[in-house]
Structure formats: structure tokens, C-alpha cells
Structure 1
Amino acid sequence: MSLANTLSPRTLTRRSFCAGTAALAAAAALPLSGCSGLSATGGLTHLVIKVPRTGHDVVFDESISQVETVVQAMADDFAATYERPVEVEVIVFEQNQYDSAIVGSFDTDKAPDVLYGDYFNISTYIHTGRVVPLDDIVTPAIRDDIFDQLWEMSAIDGRTYMMPYLARQNVLAYNLEMFRNAGLDAFIAEGKITAWSLEEWTRILDALAESLPEGSFPMMMYAGSSQGDTHIMTLLRSAGSSFFDSDGHFSLSAPEGVAALRWIQDGVGRGWFPPHAENLEIEDCSSLFREGQLAIYMVNNASLGRYGDTIGLVNFPGPDADGCCTTFASGFEVFDNGDADKLEVARDFISFVYGSERWLDYAAGTLPASKQVAERYGDAILAYELFRENGDNVVDFTGNNPDTRAVRDIFYTGIHDLLMGNMTPEECAAFLDERCNAAIDEGIAESRLHE
């Protein structure tokens, strides 16, 4: 039976709660403004869970297409079984509205008590001092069940601030037909995630630029906004750059970083990218790839199924022969909004989810954080073993930066000018190092962790 068919309105709606408690409110002379909860002792607690609108598949439940459906069902089940009255309000926001949905709602009745999202977005909020460490509710059984790499991504200064739920691994996909038409059969490796040297990448892109029909292009490139810029950051490792130094600061002015920037800039004149890529968004390139007008584009294990057997997989060019890839983890945070009762309930919600085999199972569609879920459903998850084995090639694209969003607001502007030819590779490297490192330092200076 699908999750959609089992959902029931067990979480009280705002309207039904207000109507059902009117008499009680009058008798107790309690304010009901916003229906934010009756009291901190014995009354109904109003919990706010926020989640960005995100596509999501589950191998055993075809009714699921969005992750917010799963989070809503978790909330319903929690409210129905919790030991005392609780009203859970799930608020869905758009992917480009993280800051307005989270920081913009602080100190209001819409402030999140629990947030589900992608780590590279939600890790920023740890440094507001409102996200609480969760080590005391991470039982030995929970800790043993989650893959170690995800725990490492979830911690700051040895404390766990995020609870990993799933991950998506990002590699590049290449259109098999376009490669064959360009005489590139020798580079095709079906059934595996392959890797090419930078010299081979150059040969491949030149061959595609020469052979593709008008209106088709060899490879993705975009710098119209910060959306998708993490993939461009990964490409800057192509000549051997580590991207970050040992302190987590940009180090693109090193020869390897400049060489990677030059490789990209040279690609503009060699016809590797769609024209005026500096003004394109990642979604523009996605559309071109889906329409068969782009030969190479980013995919992850969750999006792989939409392309069937029309593509092959390759790692980003990287510092060694195996190339590199990235992992985007997603999970939960709990916020302290000054209400001890709500904080307790929010932490209990996390314990409820991670103590439930049923709700952990709903991560089975991507790379589940739970080892037990991976064991139960790994065979049913598309290319699960392929991506799991490629995990050794994952690189960190954040550098534990305390304010990734501020850095990203700067980064794409440098790539924009590089693609336009307004900056040399050396100038772009200096710009990115100076401006992005200043944002990193500002984030470090302003960071405060929950006491």
C-alpha cells in the first residue's frame, strides 16, 4: 500500500484545533493568537517543521514524488503516537528561499523547530547559535547504523548538529549517441563510472565541438546565479587543485587553480559550452541535456533513472586518475527558539524518526544514511553499488565553511566575468581567493554555536 493511501489527518489543522479548543481557551482565559500552543506545561504544543520542495523517489512506494510528503507523514504519525498533545505544522518552501524561510522567520510563530534540508544549505544556520547539538539523543545503535562519512559531515567541533537521512552522489553523464557519432567509442565505459585525464577531456570536448550539429553543445557551463555553482567549483580541481588549503580557505591562485580556470576560459573559444554561458542557469543546461542538445551534464544517483540507457557516467576531472565526485547529504536540524517545551518535543520528533524502521526506510531511493536500510533495499536502488563503490572519490566542496551561501553569492560572479573574458584566469583566481576568503573569515568571526 502506498504512503499516500495510508495518510490520515491525524495532525490537527490550524482550523480544527482552534474550533476544538475554543471552549477550553475561554475557560482558561488563554490567548489563542495564531493558535501557537496552549501552554508549556500540559497543554498542546505547536511544532513547526520546515522543508524545501524537493523531488524524492522511494523504491517501494511509487506514490512518493516529493520529500515533503514523507516529512508530513512522519509528522502525522508522531502526532498520533506522542505521549502528550502536539500539533505539527509542516511548512514547505521553495529551494531558492532558504534564508527568508529560516532566518527571516526567527522570533515569529513560524520559526522552525525542526528543519529538513541539504547540508550545504542548512549547515550555515548552525552558526546562528540556534541549532542545538544532538549527541545525547544519538544512541549507540543509531550511531552504528549511520555511515561514518555522513557523521563526519554532520559535526562541528566534535558535536553533532545535523542528523543524516540520505545522500545523493554527483557525477557527470555523457550522451552515448553523441559520443558514438563523434567517434569517441573508445571512451565509453558502460556499466561503470569511468574517469578521463585532463588531456583526454580536452580531446573529447574538441571532438564533440567539431562533430555536433548546430544548436548542440559539448558540455554544461553556467554562471547566471549561484544555483549549481558547486559543480563548477568541482571542475576547478581538474588540473590537480585541492581548491581549499589546510585551513578551509580558497587557494585557487596556486598554479593548479589558475590552470583549471584557464582550461574553462579556453573552452569558450573552442566551442565547448552553450553560447553566453555566463548568463545561463543550471536548469538551462538540464533542459538542453534532456532534449539531446548537450553531450555532458551533471547527474546524481537519484536522477539517473530519467535517462535510461542513453547515458554513460564519468567522474569530474580531478587531481588523480580516478577523478572526483561530490556527495550532497540531507537531514534534520533542531532549533532552540527560546521555548523549552517545543525544544523537547522537537528533539523527541528526531528520536521518533531515527527509532522507526518504517520512516528510515523512506530514504530508500537515493543513498540512505542507514546501513540497515541500505542492506534491505540496496538491490532495488538503481546503481546503488556503483555509487557506493565510487564513494572513495568524493571531495569536500564546502571546506566546513561557516557561511557557504555568502561565498556562493561571490563565487559565481567571478566565473561570470571569466566566461565573458573580462578577467584573466590569474585575475579570476585572485578575485575568488580574496573575496571568498573574506566572506569565510567574516563567517568565522560572526559564528556562534549553541551553548
Structure 2
Amino acid sequence: MNSKRFLVTIVALILLTSIMAGCSSKNNEAGNNAGDSGKKEKVAIKVWLTPQWKGVLDATEPGADYDSFFKHAAEKFTAQYSKYDAKVDVEVIAGDQRDQLLNVNLSSGTPPDVIFESVFALGDYVHRGALAPLTDIVDDASKKDIAQSYWDSVTFGKDVYFYPFQNNPGTLVYNADMFKAAGLEKFVGGDTEIKTWTLAEYEEILKGLKDNLPKDKYSNAYPMALYAMNNQGDTWNLAYLRMFGNKFFDDQGNIVLDDANGVKAAAWLKKIKDAGYTNPGPESVSSNDVNGMFQNQQLAISFTNPVLFNNTKADMESGKLKKFDARLANIPSESGDPLSFTYVTGAGVFNTKDEKRMEVAKDFVKFFSTDPELVKSSKNAIPVRSSVAEEFKSEKPLFAAYDANSKYLFNFTGNVPGYSQLREVLYPELQALYMGASTPERAVKEYQTKGNKVIQTNKANSVIYGNQ
């Protein structure tokens, strides 16, 4: 009996030892697997940006600088990122050195992984094949929150190449005090409104300013700014050439200004110049010149964007400029629908050929472009998201007006290849028009012929048109 009990005890001990060993083995295996999953592969990406705004949400933050937002976004991104052990390096580059730095680094195979900049300045890099499509990271919620006109600005061919974050819309600015002095009170809009006038009303305004503006109070003043000295501020001239319905580009990216509506627009510009409705000598006047004239109340209507407009207001508050009532208006058109355009700012991802870096770069771009808290920083310019405009409209009353105006935006570049070169073609034709050396018919024909030559040359090397 004692022998049987001893044998049973021995067997039980052996079984217990086996079970414990099995559990220990499984625990060790689980522990090893856990250790392996904790060792994620390191991937570092580089982000470049030109100076945009200081601080994360506000320039009054302690230590606020141009890289504050992206450093904060990088910290938040890497803390929650599970695919890789990611590192995001942020570098601010000077705007006037952007192209030189990009070209040098592209030539040496060391471009940044992400760039945050105005899309208008980067379109040619898309056509060169230097940037990767971002269509796969655009979500339905963002498509709904961001107006289609902004997506049109960042779409080349069939793909999205930049994730819209904020924008800098172009409008007219007018001196409401000068309007009132000329008896034009009925045309003055609200101080948080982007006023829309019909073309007939606008012509009435120009005539009223010329005829009725008190010379004793506003000596040497003119109704409207007009300039063509160089390519700066040329986007407003492109808008004026669309005033009578010309669509400017066709579906193949060719200039089609040479039609009855294009000629009519060029003739209108010459007409208002000859009638004395503009500053004299626009062929030798720059956009900077007319901006200064408007600030000194020598022009009643000029061009502006939120940066220029806010700077003018700030200079009034600081005492640099004499105070006057500056308000916003749309560029009118014959159809009655106003014309507006914008410079969309957002992020692009360079085609570095490194799949893991490009994956992390795209994930980072999507993260800071969609994160509910980070997108609030777009309030430092004009938000592209209606939700952000709505949230901050009490703090920034014009946000609602800009958001409502988005449906009138046209894509001024047409996203055509060679747009930066195309800018050099327009102003010489306008100069000839204003000096009487060319007719409206000839000016639009010459611009179209020379401009399309630029576009065709660049289409030959475009990955967008090469894939169509």
C-alpha cells in the first residue's frame, strides 16, 4: 500500500513539473515576442518650411518661432505612431532660397521628405516628378470640410499633390472714407464683409471717385490701382482678364484668352486707364508702388490679401499710417458673379524612392493636416476648413466672409507646367497695351501665342501630361 502511495506521489510531481515548465516556456515566449514588438525600426524624415507663422496656435506664446508648430506636431505624431520609431527633423528655409536649395538637394538625391509652402510656388516640381501623389491619404471628412475650389488648386491631372492647410485669398481693398467723401455711401459694405459689386456698379464707382472726390482733402488721388511694371502682383491682372467670361485655360491646359471675351477684358483695362480712372503710367508702376499709394490715400481702390490687409491695419494702430476705413471687396465681373483667387498653402511629399520614409512622411502630413487640435493653427492665416472658420469666427470676423467667398475662387495657375516662366510673358503685353504700342486684339493674341509656347515646351517634360 505504501509503495502504491509513493508511486502516485512521484507521478503527480512529474506532471506538476511538466505543467510548470510548459507555462514557463509559454511565458518566456510571450515575453520574447513582446520584446521584439517593442523594437520598432527607426525611420527619420526631414521637413522643410518657409516662414509662415510664429508659435503653435499664437505668436504670443513664450519662445514662439516659425518652427514651433511643426516641432509640436512632430512630438505629438511620434508619441502616437505605431508603425515605426519615427523621428521628424524640422528646418525653416528662406523663401528666396527655396528653389536654389530644392534644386541642389534634388540633384544630389537628398531632398526633404516633406515641404510646407504655397502650392503656387511648387507646381513645377509636380510636373518634374519630384513630388508624390497624396490622393491615397485624403479622407472623406476632409473632402467635406474643405471646399472643392481648394482641392482644385492642389490637383494635378487626376491626383492630389498637396494637402491644403490654409490659404491667402486675393481681393480688392477700398477706402470707405473716400467713397463717402465722393457721395458713394450706398456702395460701402460692412466692415466684416467682402462686398460684391456688379460691373456696372463698379464703373459707376470709378466715375464717381474721379468726378466727385474732394481735391482739397484728397489731392493727387485716383480711383483704382493699375500696374504692369513686372510680374509681381500679376494674379490680379489675370483676374481682370477673366472679367468678361473668358476661362483662360482649356481642359488641355492651353491658354485660350484670344477670344471675344478676352479682347473685351483687355479693352476694358485700356479704357479705364485712358479715362483717368487709374493711377497714371501703369506700365512703369509696380504692385508695391500702388500698395504704398493706397496706404497714403492716393488710391481709393487697390489689391490686397489678408497679410497686406492686416499689416495695413496694424500700421494704422501703431501710428505708422494715418487711420482710415479700409474694407474688402471682390473683383467684379460682367456676369455678376465675383472673381476671387487664393494662394493655398499645404504640405507635399517628395518622391525620395525610399518607401519607408515616404510612408512616414505621408502619415505625418495626414496627421497634422487632419488632427482636430493641430488644424486650429490654420487660423494664423485663413483656414481652408469650414469647421475652423466657424470655430474662430468670433475672434476673426472675416473668416466667415472668406469661407463663404470660397465658391467664387478660380485656379489662377491652371496647374499648367512652366507657370513660373509664363509670368514673364504677361506684363510686357500689358505694358505695350497701356502705352498704345499694341491693341487689345494684338495683346491677347501675342500673350496666348507666347504663353502656349512656354506651356508646350514644359509639357514635353511633364510627368502629368506624359501620363495622360
Q: TM-score range with shorter-chain normalisation?
A: 0.7 to 0.9
Unaligned runs of at least 5 residues, structure 2: 1-39, 314-323
Cα distance in 2 for partners of 1:280, 1:106 equals 37
Cα distance in 1 for partners of 2:402, 2:336 equals 17
Kindly state the Cα deviation for residue 448 of structure 1 after the two structures are TM-superposed.
0.8
In 2, are the aligned partners of 1:117 and 1:332 still within 8 Å (CA)? yes
TM-score normalised to the size of structure 2?
A: 0.77
Q: Where does 1:2-401 land on structure 2 (aligned, <5 Å)?
A: 45=44, 47-54=45-52, 62-63=60-61, 69-75=68-74, 78=77, 83-84=84-85, 86=87, 88-94=89-95, 96-108=96-108, 111-191=111-191, 192-210=193-211, 211=213, 213-301=218-306, 303-306=308-311, 310-401=325-416
In 1, are the aligned partners of 2:47 and 2:91 still within 8 Å (CA)? yes
Q: Residues 363 and 87 from structure 1, CA distance in 2 versus in 1: closer, same or farther, beyond 3 angstroms? A: closer
The alignment-based identity, stated in percent, is: 26
In 1, are the aligned partners of 2:55 and 2:67 still within 8 Å (CA)? no
Cα distance in 2 for partners of 1:263, 1:384 equals 32
Kindly state the Cα deviation for residue 431 of structure 1 after the two structures are TM-superposed.
0.9
In 2, are the aligned partners of 1:325 and 1:394 still within 8 Å (CA)? yes
Structure whose alpha-carbon radius of gyration is higher: 2
Cα deviation digits, residues 152-178 of structure 1 (max 9, x gap): 332233322110101233221110111
Determine whether 1:405 maps to 2:403. no
Kindly state the Cα deviation for residue 132 of structure 1 after the two structures are TM-superposed.
0.7
What residue in structure 1 maps to residue 432 of structure 2? 417
Aligned letter for 2:194? Answer: I
Q: Residues 287 and 109 from structure 1, CA distance in 2 versus in 1: closer, same or farther, beyond 3 angstroms? A: farther
Aligned letter for 1:251? Answer: V
SS for the counterpart of 1:168 is: strand
TM-score normalised to the size of structure 1?
A: 0.80
Kindly state the Cα deviation for residue 56 of structure 1 after the two structures are TM-superposed.
7.3
In 1, are the aligned partners of 2:149 and 2:409 still within 8 Å (CA)? no
Cα distance in 2 for partners of 1:350, 1:179 equals 46
In 1, are the aligned partners of 2:174 and 2:328 still within 8 Å (CA)? yes
**Residues matched between the structures, number:** 409
Cα distance in 2 for partners of 1:226, 1:359 equals 35
Kindly state the Cα deviation for residue 255 of structure 1 after the two structures are TM-superposed.
1.8
Cα distance in 2 for partners of 1:413, 1:57 equals 41
Cα distance in 1 for partners of 2:391, 2:328 equals 26
Cα deviation digits, residues 264-307 of structure 1 (max 9, x gap): 12333333333332233322222222222221122334554455
Determine whether 1:438 maps to 2:453. yes
Aligned letter for 1:421? Answer: G
In terms of mean alpha carbon deviation, does 346-355 or 80-89 score higher? 80-89
In terms of mean alpha carbon deviation, does 239-248 or 75-84 score higher? 75-84
Q: Residues 57 and 270 from structure 1, CA distance in 2 versus in 1: closer, same or farther, beyond 3 angstroms? A: farther
Cα distance in 1 for partners of 2:209, 2:226 equals 15
Cα deviation digits, residues 51-78 of structure 1 (max 9, x gap): 2334679876545998655345434655
Unaligned runs of at least 5 residues, structure 1: 1-40
Cα deviation digits, residues 354-411 of structure 1 (max 9, x gap): 3532321100244323344334323322322222222332223222323321211212
Q: Residues 366 and 257 from structure 1, CA distance in 2 versus in 1: closer, same or farther, beyond 3 angstroms? A: same
Q: Residues 286 and 97 from structure 1, CA distance in 2 versus in 1: closer, same or farther, beyond 3 angstroms? A: farther
RMSD over equivalenced CA pairs, Å: 3.1
